Amino acid sequence: MKNRFIKEYFNFSRREINGLIILGIILVIILSLRIIENNYKPRKRYDFSKFENEIDEFISLQTTNFENTELFCFDPNTASTDELIKLGFSPRIINEINSFRKAGRKFYKPEDLLKIKSLKESDFEIIKEYIVIEKKKNYNSDNFYKNNSRYSKTYSRFDFDPNIADKETLLKLGFKYWQADNIIKYRNKGGKFSIPEDLYKIYGIDSVFVSEIIDYVKIENIALNEITNNDQPQTFMIEINSANAEMLQRIKGIGPVYANRIIKYRDRLGGFINIEQLKEIYGINDELFEQLKIHININPDLIHKININTADYKTLISHPYIDEKHTKIILNFREFTGKIKSFDELLKQKAIEKEFYEKILPYISVE
């Protein structure tokens, strides 16, 4: 019975046996080819560059870049998106600042910027000295100090010299403790008050308060002599495009703060071509401009120009006169033409306005 079962199911004809042998050979060949392919064929390399670029882009959106940018003074309540980009803020922080302002909230002191959750304290320490928050002036200066609880205390009024007054003296005059500290810090860094109006450049001091006490500011001549130490102070001239901070401080009214502002703006600009451009610097009013004008001359040959055929996005938008819109126009036009032969092309094609063309032309090159 058992032999019959085996013969019935495992009895093959000669043709069937040949077929099984051929099938087995085919299977062996297929398996062998598969093994050879897996072991000897070079593995395909996958290109992760696109994925890596996306990661880099994502990281750039989250991180600030203050170390590699030319910082300048700004008001977080009014600074535009372009200005925040030039400063080095990340897109994420810029969006949070804009949302903060759209919600009707305001920054009243530099430390308020830490309310922006994405801004790290270490980054804040880098930029805090450049935060200048404008104070509202739409109140009656005569009644402000009487009606405001912060200034409700009665203070003494007497002559003082901000170059030598100690903290206690400043507090008696009505300065707040942080204002007195800022004055002393300014002096410790080498700053000097040459005219009463120099009090306006101290961070945190209300312009209305300065106007209340300015008649009591009496600056000793020795302080002025230290700044304008020159036998003929009205005759010396300084070439603005090559001057350093020490040279600029010889000018009446220019201390370390203003000198550094002028140099930083000059470097961002590429150099001055017109004395009137000094008015574009934060804090330089008409009176201070008149002091500068007496001692400043300009060498236009020292202008640093931007090659618009090689400059990247960051280089273009970092210039004070080039905003995001014109940066994109230049880059798109360059990509379309391959090379910009003349900046006039953009004007002829009506890609840019004549006013922008005339303003930026001295700072542009195509080679």
In a domain, 136, yes or no: no
Q: Note whether residue 36 is domain-resident.
A: yes
pLDDT attached to residue 351? 86
Q: Which residue has the higher pLDDT, 203 or 329?
A: 329
Kindly state whether residue 56 falls inside one of the protein's structural domains.
Answer: no
Q: What is the pLDDT of residue 136?
A: 54
Reported as type and span, the H/E element at residue 209 is: helix 207-213
- Residue 8 belongs to some domain of the structure: yes
Tell me which amino acid residue 366 is. Answer: V
Largest CA distance in the chain: 135
pLDDT of 278 over the 60 cut: yes
How crowded is residue 291: how many other Cβ atoms within 10 Å of its Cβ?
16
We report the CATH number of the domain holding residue 248 as 1.10.150.320
Of 340 and 34, more confident: 340
pLDDT band at 363 (very low <50, low <70, confident <90, very high): very high
* CA separation for the pair 77, 203 (Å, rounded): 16
Residue 135 lies in a domain: no
Per the model's pLDDT, the better-predicted residue between 186 and 10 turns out to be 186
Tell me whether residue 106 is in a domain: yes
238 and 298 part of one domain:
yes
- In angstroms, the CA 230 to CA 86 distance is 39
pLDDT at 267 over 80: yes
User: What is the SS3 assignment for 238?
Assistant: strand
Which of 89-98, 203-212, 243-252, 283-292 has the lowest average pLDDT? 203-212
DSSP secondary structure letters along 272-321: -SSGGGGGGSTT--HHHHHHHHHHEE--GGGPPPEETTT--HHHHHTSTT
217, 147: one domain? yes
126 and 168 in a single domain? The answer is no
CA distance 316 to 326: 9
Is the per-residue pLDDT at 91 higher than 60?
A: yes
Write the single-letter amino acid at 342.
Answer: S
pLDDT for position 8:
60
The per-residue pLDDT of the chain, averaged, comes to 78
Contacts of residue 238, Cβ cutoff 8 Å, sequence gap at least 6 = 247, 248, 250, 251, 295, 296, 297
The answer on 221 and 173 residing in a single domain is: yes
* Final residue of a structural domain among 209, 225, 241: 225
Q: Hey, which residues does 74 pair with through a beta bridge? A: 131
Whole-number pLDDT of residue 147: 44
- For residue 239, what are the β-bridge partners? 297
Per-residue pLDDT of 160-219, as tens digits, reads: 888 888 888 888 888 887 788 888 888 887 778 888 878 877 777 777 788 788 888 888
Summarised one tens digit per residue, pLDDT across range 343-359 is 888 888 888 898 998 89
Is 334 in the same domain as 361? yes
Give percent above pLDDT 90 in the chain: 5
Same domain, 101 and 145: no
> Residue 165 is part of which domain span?
141-225
Query: What pLDDT score does 72 carry?
Result: 75
The verdict on pTM exceeding 0.85 is no
Determine, yes or no, domain membership for 211.
yes
The answer for 253, left when phi > 0, alpha when psi is -120 to 50, beta otherwise, is left
- Rounded distance between C-alpha atoms, residue 259 and residue 280, angstroms: 14
Amino acid type, 174: G
Average pLDDT over residues 83-98: 85
Residue 57 pLDDT:
57
Q: What average pLDDT does the segment 294-302 reach?
A: 87
Answer whether residue 85 shows pLDDT above 70: yes
Per the CB < 8 A criterion, the answer to whether 76 and 134 are in contact is no
The domain tally of the chain equals 5
Residue with structure tokens 């032999």?
3
pLDDT in tens, 38-74: 776 555 555 555 655 555 555 555 567 776 677 777 8
pLDDT in tens, 231-242: 444 467 888 998
Q: What is the band of 221 on the pLDDT scale with cuts at 50, 70, 90?
A: low
- Same structural domain, 14 and 31: yes
Quick check: 31 pLDDT over 60?
yes
Q: At what angle do helices 91-102 and 49-62 cross, to 10 degrees?
A: 40
Q: Are residues 117 and 169 in the same domain?
A: no
CA atoms within 13 A on the CB side of 37: 7
Q: Domain for residue 334, yes or no?
A: yes
